[in-house]
Structure 1
């Protein structure tokens, strides 16, 4: 049996990093997404590339670099709380007021 996986554009959409699958696909096609799988980092160029549990994804969105680790693949694009359960943030997101 193979590892469970999902297309990167679908995962970005389900995790609510993109409002539509088309926008998620465009993000990948622009070369703005890097995937670290089994210790090897690659820049993704096609939305059909797959992600697995434990992979790390780094991407630039709205002038900010975001890094996350995939914790779940998801079954649908659910509410924000469900989407946040799909990943763990690897970037420092401490608000300025707490620094």
Structure 2
């Protein structure tokens, strides 16, 4: 599955491993300090190799992973999980956060728009 690569740019690998939808989003996250390589802040062009440890923060979630394979092509989500190995501690913590988020959504009532706004009825009308 993996190409015969020794090293690849970090932003390209994050895109191929499906952590980000585009390379631009991956590069912005790296530049913004959301991705660390071996516990150090780096630039998007940083070359990574098999065995590199990454720390990725996205939304409220955090992954602590080790790169197990390199590829320069974006594959299916099923194939992308073989590009890295997540630590058990990181996986457990993230699963706990997911459960907490679901419980929070169930407890808080939705105060959003119950209709599509138009000229007659806008989202800001309280008399409707």
Match of 1:92 in 2: 91
Match of 1:43 in 2: 41
Greater CA radius of gyration, 1 or 2? 2
Give the TM-score normalised by the residue count of structure 2: 0.65
**Separation in 1, partners of 2:91, 2:78:** 20
Which runs of structure 1 show a deviation greater than 2 angstroms over 4 or more consecutive aligned residues? 92-97
More helix per residue: 1 or 2? Answer: 2
- Per chain length, whose mean CA-contact separation is higher, i.e. which structure has more relative contact order (CA < 8 Å, sep 6+)? 1
Match of 1:57 in 2: 54
Q: Equivalent residues in 2 for 1:5-84 (5 A)? A: 5-36=7-38, 41-44=39-42, 46-84=43-81
State the number of aligned residues.
90
Q: Which sections of structure 1, spanning at least 5 residues, go unmatched?
A: none
Match of 2:6 in 1: 4
Does the 8 Å contact 2:8/2:72 carry over to 1? no
Q: Which sections of structure 2, spanning at least 5 residues, go unmatched?
A: 100-128
| RMSD of equivalent CA atoms | 1.8
Structure 1 residues 87-96 or 13-22, which shifts more? 87-96
**Structure 2 residue matching 1:85: 3-state secondary structure:** helix
